Amino acid sequence: MQSVSPRGGLQLGDLPATRWERARAAVPASTLWSAVLVFALAVTIARSTSAAYWVPSGIDGIPFVALGAAVLMALLALTRLPSWLCVAAGVAGGLVVATIATAPEFRAQHPLDPTGAGLVQVWIIRVFEGSAFGDQAFVGLVITLLMWITGGWLAWCVVRWRQPLIGLIPGAAAFTTNVLNTPNQQGYTFIFLALTLGLLLWTTYTASVAKAVAARIKMTGDARWDFWETGLVATAALLVIGIMLPPMSTIDRTASMESSLFTKWAQIQSKLNQVGIQGNGTIPGRVSTGFGVTVSMGPRLSQSTTPVFNYAVTAGPYPGPYYFRGVNDTLTTVVDGKPTWTYGTNDHTQPIAANDSPTFAEQYKWMALATFTVNMLLPPGSGSGDIYFYPGQFYSIDKPAVAHETQVPPVFTFATQLVTIDRLAAAPPSFTTKGQYNVTVSYPDVTTDELRAAGTDYGDWLAPYSSMPADGYRPPAAMRFIHDLALSITAGANNPYDKASAIEAYLRDRNRFTYTLTPKQPPDGTDPMLYFLNSSHEGYCQYFAMAMGEMLRSLGIPTRLVNGYGAGSYDDIQHRQVVRDEDAHVWVESYFPGYGWIPFEPTNDGVAYANTIQRASSRSVLCFTDNHCTVPSPIQAVTSPVVKPSTRPKDPGASDQPIGANQNRFRWLDSTMITRIVGVLGALLLLLIGLGARYLRPRTVMGVWRRVLVLARMAGAELQSGETPSELEKRLGRAFPEAAPHLHSLTDAFVVAAYAPPEMAQSTKPSVMEAWASLRPMMVRRVLSRVRPGRS
């Protein structure tokens, strides 16, 4: 519809566009780009804070809070309102937004609190008492308000005061706290560095230009060129340094930095260097800690600290041990010439629906229940990425799964063939356990007296667990030594439990055996078990577990080894246990009639990590399946056993597979590695731009002319042989009319400099450089328009 104006030239539909154009024209380009950088910085700091997991919930929306504050204060900074009024409005807005954003968390955490003025009074009392600062909802409020201040203050300082360094103070303090206390912040660190350097460069440049204009100083083209050339190179260098510096923390280190910082970084860098290896071969002699499905007495190990999963007990309680089962190794055989405990060859499978508990052939007494929430970060490689890890014995899981059993009892031995689960895997089509799952487990709350009285009424199905191969596994002399040593250790013990405990204590005696990741290797032709028990007396968990397992089987006691992970280390920030590659572990389980498989720990690492497993001394009030309890009691606060981080060389439980190229190539291409790759590529791009800027700023008259010819060719103007500079200038002026005056000035000065006497030629250099400074951006735009046809 047309306007009633006599001119009739205004369409009502054009009003929004016109208003936008007027608003856009009112904001200088320098301010607009500064604001964009400010908004991106505010969101980056807020996302880093959210990822730091300061509180379990309630702060996921802080990036929007920081962005909203930055936008509001940037708009207020563009107005002519008094500064005090704008700042007061921002503070008031922050209090309102923070209160609204965290109100649901307050209601959930404190449903009985009063409302209105009474609520304010209650929280004032809590603040003065100090209890508020340990409250999750209150901490969430403070963090939300801090993110509002971070975004708003940064925008105000940059847009109104043109002081980015002052504006960065609260945001930089918050970000530094995140980096010092939280692992895996490398991505945010790179983005923060890039945006901060970009903001400082841009604001410095625009301020310099504004001062020059105010002082009526004409800036040459090379002055601007020098600034950006130096700035880009410096930015690239700082980004590379930021990418290559070691991560500041994998645990809380605000109070103190451990001296092993750079040692750990060297280990990480060593593993990162294997990413680019091609082919299907292996790296000779290189074996790393980590989960494996077989157990053998392997070579020396190096440590890997890659996080695998974290977990918390959500229903229970669960007294321990906090050993996460991966696979049960039940078959003794020879693999690649080495005696090895393996997963087995027979494989009975049974699908298990989500939250269903399978029916087992045997039911055991005093089995209590507990539930764990596991967040699988990086499933193990080598075909083990579909394994669900869990402590104790399996009861149910909230995901579809497939149970695998290797030592399958003969048909008709039981009503069902599922006696035990040797491997719990993700159901197709998933084939991966990455992500979160909740698993309910059962564990025997049984006393030592009950285990001593369990007897030896072993069913025929346990025969494969109760003996060693007659030949072909180890030399006969080694087999006799293992059996004789077991008889010697258990002399005087009259029941399987006391025999198992005696062998466990013998192997744990640090006066006899030494725990080490670098055990002495047996001479050629010497059986490794015989060498371990009779000569070296040093090894890691696989050595000790194999020794105990083979001694128990030689005595006819049903035994298996379990490959999995230990408890990990407690993270005070996430309030969870974090399990890493270095926590991979192997332990022993023996069968006791009526009670099932009971764990034993023959490895003694000397620092209270692999302790002797405690048995119940009296019956506790737990959720027992004997009493038809199927749901353990929820734990109000998500808790984990307090196992503090240790600097000990943790038990490796490594696969005895040398690190293969294929395994590393996929395992290490995670988000941190991708961030490093992107950061290095970005830094290289900035360096290339800097080198290009250096090329476009020649120091001689002939250098200027050569660059004119190169840019003309790149812009599509073919050079003709035999052309004089004047002829070339006229033809290029027709091809690039906007550059014709500058081409003419430059060519005239070049002809004098090239062909006049030296004293006259020298005087023309300033005019050549000035003409080139004006011509250069036009020629560059022509080149870019050819690369990007839509650019004019």
pLDDT one-digit tens code per residue, 437-478: 999 999 988 999 999 999 999 988 999 999 999 888 999 999
318 pLDDT higher than 80: yes
Closest C-alpha to 70, from 213, 215, 167, 208: 167
Contact 661, 281 (CB under 8 A): yes
Residue-level pLDDT at 87: 92
Q: What is the mean pLDDT of residues 563-585?
A: 85
Return the amino acid letter for 657. Q
766 pLDDT higher than 90: no
Give the helix/strand (H/E) hosting 152.
helix 136-156
Per DSSP (E only), the strands in 298-422 are 307-316, 324-329, 331-335, 338-342, 348-352, 367-376, 393-397, 401-405
Q: For residues 143 and 47, what is the distance between their CA atoms, to the nearest angstrom?
A: 12
Which range, of 275-279, 311-315, 332-336, averages the lowest pLDDT? 275-279
532 pLDDT higher than 90: yes
Residue-level pLDDT at 702: 77
Say which residue, 579 or 722, is predicted with more confidence. 579
In the chain, pLDDT over 70 holds for what percent of residues?
Answer: 74
283 pLDDT higher than 60: no
155 pLDDT higher than 70: yes
Q: For residues 568 and 250, what is the distance between their CA atoms, to the nearest angstrom?
A: 13
Q: What is the mean pLDDT of residues 307-312?
A: 90
Mean pLDDT, the chain, rounded, equals 78
Give the helix/strand (H/E) hosting 576.
strand 576-580
In the chain, pLDDT over 90 holds for what percent of residues?
Answer: 34
Q: How confident is the model at residue 235 (pLDDT cuts 50, 70, 90)?
A: low
Residue-level pLDDT at 608: 47
Phi/psi region, residue 441 (left: phi>0; alpha: psi -120 to 50; beta: rest), is beta
> pLDDT tens across 478-518, in order?
999 999 999 999 999 999 999 999 999 999 999 999 998 88
What is the Rg, in whole angstroms, of the alpha carbon atoms belonging to the chain?
36
> pLDDT tens across 206-229, in order?
877 777 777 777 665 555 555 555
Residue-level pLDDT at 478: 94
Contact 307, 578 (CB under 8 A): yes
Residue-level pLDDT at 571: 76
Contacts 24+ apart (CB under 8 A), 70-73: 70/35, 70/38, 70/39, 70/42, 70/151, 70/152, 70/154, 70/155, 71/39, 71/155, 72/152, 72/155, 73/151, 73/152, 73/153, 73/155, 73/156, 73/159
Neighbours of 516 (CB within 10 A): 16
Q: How confident is the model at residue 243 (pLDDT cuts 50, 70, 90)?
A: low
287 pLDDT higher than 60: no
Secondary structure letter of residue 543 according to DSSP: H
Q: Which range in 158-167, 612-621, 678-687 is most confidently predicted, on average pLDDT?
A: 158-167
Q: What is the mean pLDDT of residues 50-72?
A: 84
Residue-level pLDDT at 57: 64
Q: How confident is the model at residue 70 (pLDDT cuts 50, 70, 90)?
A: very high
Closest C-alpha to 597, from 567, 562, 631: 562
The single residue listed with the structure tokens 């009670």 is 595
Give the helix/strand (H/E) hosting 129.
helix 117-129
Q: For residues 5 and 555, what is the distance between their CA atoms, to the nearest angstrom?
A: 108
255 pLDDT higher than 50: no
Q: How confident is the model at residue 232 (pLDDT cuts 50, 70, 90)?
A: low
Which range, of 14-28, 107-121, 178-192, averages the lowest pLDDT? 14-28
The stretches of 182-244 forming alpha helices (DSSP H) are 186-214, 221-244
Q: What is the mean pLDDT of residues 350-361?
A: 92
Residue-level pLDDT at 539: 93
Both tokens assigned to 320: 């321990």
Say which residue, 736 or 646, is predicted with more confidence. 736
> pLDDT tens across 626-683, in order?
777 877 777 754 444 444 444 434 444 444 333 333 333 333 444 455 555 666 666 6
Beta bridge partners of 424: 403
Q: How confident is the model at residue 694 (pLDDT cuts 50, 70, 90)?
A: low
Closest C-alpha to 582, from 605, 612, 615, 598: 605
The stretches of 429-540 forming alpha helices (DSSP H) are 448-452, 476-489, 496-508, 528-531
Contact 547, 515 (CB under 8 A): no
Say which residue, 742 or 473, is predicted with more confidence. 473
Q: For residues 67 and 145, what is the distance between their CA atoms, to the nearest angstrom?
A: 12
Say which residue, 303 or 173, is predicted with more confidence. 173
Q: What is the 3-state secondary structure (H, E, C) of 25-36?
A: HHCCHHHHHHHH
Residue-level pLDDT at 701: 76
Listed by start position, the domains of the chain span 25-182, 295-656+663-667, 698-787
pTM, rounded to two decimals: 0.52
Q: What is the mean pLDDT of residues 191-203?
A: 83
Query: Coil, strand, or helix at residue 677?
Result: helix
Which range, of 207-216, 706-715, 738-747, averages the lowest pLDDT? 207-216
Which range, of 327-331, 503-507, 583-587, 678-682, averages the lowest pLDDT? 678-682
Q: Which range in 63-67, 175-179, 278-282, 691-695 is most confidently predicted, on average pLDDT?
A: 63-67
Residue-level pLDDT at 498: 96
Q: How confident is the model at residue 546 (pLDDT cuts 50, 70, 90)?
A: very high
382 pLDDT higher than 60: yes
